[in-house]
C-alpha cells in the first residue's frame, strides 16, 4: 500500500475546538518554563535592565512576525500538523517528515519535560527546599502522566481544563506585576532606560545567545496551526488566534521581567532557575514567596497541558501519511489521537529522567527555531509555486514581516553554532536522524508494496 493512501482523519462529526480554547492553547504553550527561568541565564552575560527588556521585546516582535507568516500558511493549508503539513506541501514529503520528527522529539516533548521539571523545582522550593533532585523528577513525571490521562480521554474535559488553567495563568501574572508595584518597599537600583554601553550590548554575541533563551520562551506562538483541522472556521479564526495570543504574551513577558528586575537583586537571580520564586521572596517575604512559588508551579500545569494537546497532532499526521507509523494516526471516539499522546509523553518522561535543564533549553531552542525558519521561508516559496492558491489571509506588510522574522532568527542561529556548537550540532544531528528514519520508512513501504 502507498504511504499517501493511508488516512485516518478525525471523524467528520467530531467536535471542534472553539476560538477561546485555541487561543488558550497558544498562550499556555508560550507562557511556561522560559519566562520563569531564562532571566537567570541572561543575567550571566547581560546586566542592563534596558537591554534585558529589549531582549523580550525583540523576542515578541520575532514571534509576532512568525505568527502572521504562519497564519497565511495555516489559512491557505488548513490541515492539522503545523510545520509537518506545511513543509510536506511546500517542499517535499521528506522535509515535512523531518519537521514532524523535530516537532515530536524536540519541539514538544523537550519543552514539556522542561516545564514539568520547573514545576517540580518550584514545588520542592516551597515544601522541601533541600530535597534531592530526584523529587523534582518524580513530581515532573507525575504531572506528565496525569495530564496524559486527561488529554487522551474526552475532548470537552481536555478543552475546559485548558481554558481554566490559562485564565488563571494570565490573572496571576497580571496580579504579580501589580503587587510588585504596590507592595515593593524599595525597588532595586537598576535602570530600565537606555544607558551608556547598551548600544554595544544590543549588537553583541551575548545578546544573540540570550535571544535563543527568549525565543524558547516565546516558542508556542505557532501552536494553533497544529490543531488547524480541529478549529472552528480556521481560515477566519487562525490569524486572529495567532496574532492576539502572541500580543498578549509579549506584553505579559515585558511586564513580568521588569517586575523581576525591580524586585530582586541581580546577584540573587544570576544563574538561578527559580527567578520567580526569588523575586516573590523580595516582594512578599518568606510566607508570600512560598505561596507565590506554589501558584507559579500551578501555572506550569497549563503549559505541559497545552503541549500535550498540540504536539501529538503532528505525530497523528505522520501516521496518516506514512505506513511505518500508521499506529500513531489512531484516534478515540472523540477524534483525539490518544496513541500519539502516549508516545509524546513517553519521550517527555525520558527527557525528564536523563537530561540536564540548560542543555535541553539551548539545543531545543536552536532546533525549534531552525524548524520555524524554513517554514517562514515557505511563505515566499508557496507564493512563487502556487500563486493562484486561495489565501483567505495574507501576511501583513509582506515581505517585510517574514523578513524581520528570518533576519532575527537567522542571526541567533548563527551565533548558537559559533558560541554553543555542541548544542547546535546535536540539534543538526536530530534533523539528520529524522531524514534517516524517512528513508527507512520509504524502504519499508516499497517492500510492503512488492509483497
CB within 8 Å of 137: residues ≥ 6 apart: 117, 120, 352, 353
Nearest residue to 37 (alpha-carbon basis) of 266, 264, 213: 213
Cα 115 to Cα 19: distance, rounded to the nearest angstrom: 25
Cα 321 to Cα 92: distance, rounded to the nearest angstrom: 13
Block means of pLDDT (10 residues each) for the chain, length 451 residues? Answer: 41 59 74 73 83 89 89 82 82 85 76 83 73 80 88 65 71 76 68 78 78 77 68 75 85 86 83 77 75 75 78 76 76 78 86 72 76 91 92 89 92 82 80 82 65 58
Cα 249 to Cα 246: distance, rounded to the nearest angstrom: 5
80, three cell numbers: 492539522
pTM flag (> 0.75): no
24, three cell numbers: 488558550
| Whether 409 contacts 62, CB under 8 Å | yes
Write down how long the chain is.
Answer: 451
Per DSSP, what are the bridge partners of residue 17?
231
| Whether 71 contacts 395, CB under 8 Å | yes
**pLDDT at residue 407, as a whole number:** 92
CATH of domain 3-450: 1.20.1740.10
DSSP code, position 104: I
Nearest residue to 196 (alpha-carbon basis) of 335, 405, 51: 51
CB within 8 Å of 99: residues ≥ 6 apart: 83, 84, 86, 87, 88, 371, 374, 375, 434
Omega before 325 within 30 of 0, i.e. cis: no
Cα 269 to Cα 296: distance, rounded to the nearest angstrom: 16
Residue 374 sits at the vertex; the CA angle it makes with 373 and 377, to the nearest 5 degrees, is: 95
CA distances from 378 to 76, 278, 382 (A): 12, 42, 6
Nearest residue to 210 (alpha-carbon basis) of 372, 360, 47: 47
Residues 15, 21, 22, 25, Cα dihedral to 10°: -120
**pLDDT at residue 224, as a whole number:** 65
CA distances from 398 to 69, 132, 174, 292, 407 (A): 9, 52, 33, 43, 14
**Other Cβ atoms closer than 10 A to 132:** 10
Sign of CA dihedral 331, 335, 341, 342: negative
Amino acid at each position: 500500500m502507498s504511504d499517501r493512501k493511508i488516512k485516518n482523519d478525525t471523524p467528520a462529526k467530531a467536535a471542534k475546538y472553539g476560538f477561546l480554547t485555541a487561543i488558550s492553547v497558544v498562550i499556555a504553550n508560550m507562557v511556561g518554563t522560559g519566562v520563569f527561568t531564562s532571566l537567570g541565564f541572561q543575567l550571566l552575560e547581560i546586566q542592563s535592565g534596558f537591554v534585558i527588556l529589549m531582549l523580550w521585546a525583540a523576542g515578541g516582535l520575532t514571534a509576532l512576525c512568525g505568527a502572521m507568516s504562519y497564519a497565511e500558511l495555516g489559512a491557505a493549508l488548513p490541515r492539522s500538523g503545523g510545520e509537518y503539513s506545511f513543509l510536506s506541501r511546500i517542499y517535499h514529503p521528506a522535509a515535512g517528515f523531518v519537521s514532524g520528527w523535530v516537532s515530536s522529539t524536540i519541539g514538544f516533548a523537550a519543552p514539556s519535560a522542561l516545564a514539568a521539571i520547573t514545576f517540580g523545582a518550584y514545588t520542592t522550593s516551597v515544601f522541601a527546599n533541600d530535597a534531592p533532585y530526584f523529587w523534582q523528577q518524580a513530581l515532573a513525571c507525575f504531572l506528565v502522566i496525569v495530564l496524559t490521562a486527561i488529554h487522551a480521554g474526552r475532548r470537552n474535559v481536555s478543552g475546559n481544563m485548558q481554558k481554566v488553567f490559562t485564565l488563571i495563568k494570565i490573572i496571576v501574572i497580571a496580579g504579580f506585576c501589580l503587587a510588585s508595584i504596590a507592595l515593593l518597599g524599595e525597588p532595586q537600583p537598576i535602570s530600565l532606560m537606555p544607558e551608556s554601553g547598551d548600544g554595544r550590548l544590543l549588537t553583541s554575541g551575548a545578546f544573540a545567545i540570550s535571544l535563543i533563551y527568549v525565543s524558547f520562551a516565546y516558542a508556542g506562538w505557532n501552536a494553533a496551526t497544529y490543531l488547524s483541522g480541529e478549529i472552528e472556521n480556521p481560515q477566519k479564526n487562525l490569524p486572529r488566534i495567532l496574532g492576539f495570543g502572541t500580543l498578549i504574551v509579549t506584553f505579559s513577558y515585558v511586564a513580568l521581567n521588569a517586575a523581576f528586575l525591580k524586585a530582586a537583586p541581580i546577584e540573587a537571580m544570576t544563574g538561578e532557575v527559580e527567578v520567580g520564586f526569588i523575586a516573590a521572596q523580595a516582594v512578599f517575604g518568606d510566607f508570600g514567596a512560598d505561596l507565590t512559588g506554589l501558584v507559579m508551579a500551578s501555572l506550569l500545569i497549563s503549559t505541559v497541558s497545552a503541549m500535550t494537546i498540540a504536539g501529538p497532532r503532528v505525530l497523528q499526521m505522520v501516521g496518516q501519511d506514512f505506513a511505518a507509523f500508521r499506529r500513531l494516526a489512531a484516534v478515540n471516539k472523540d477524534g483525539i489521537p490518544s496513541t500519539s499522546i502516549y508516545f509524546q509523553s513517553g519521550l517527555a518522561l525520558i527527557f525528564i529522567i536523563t537530561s540536564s535543564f540548560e542543555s535541553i533549553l539551548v539545543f531545543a531552542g536552536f532546533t525549534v527555531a531552525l524548524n520555524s525558519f524554513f517554514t517562514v521561508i515557505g511563505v515566499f516559496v508557496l507564493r512563487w509555486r502556487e500563486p493562484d492558491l486561495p489565501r483567505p489571509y495574507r501576511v501583513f506588510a509582506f515581505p517585510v514581516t517574514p523578513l524581520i522574522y528570518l533576519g532575527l532568527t537567522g542571526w541567533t542561529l548563527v551565533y548558537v553554532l559559533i558560541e554553543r556548537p555542541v548544542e547546535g550540532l546535536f540539534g543538526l544531528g536530530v534533523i539528520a536522524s529524522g531524514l534517516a528514519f524517512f528513508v527507512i520508512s520509504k524502504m519499508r513501504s516499497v517492500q510492503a508494496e512488492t509483497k
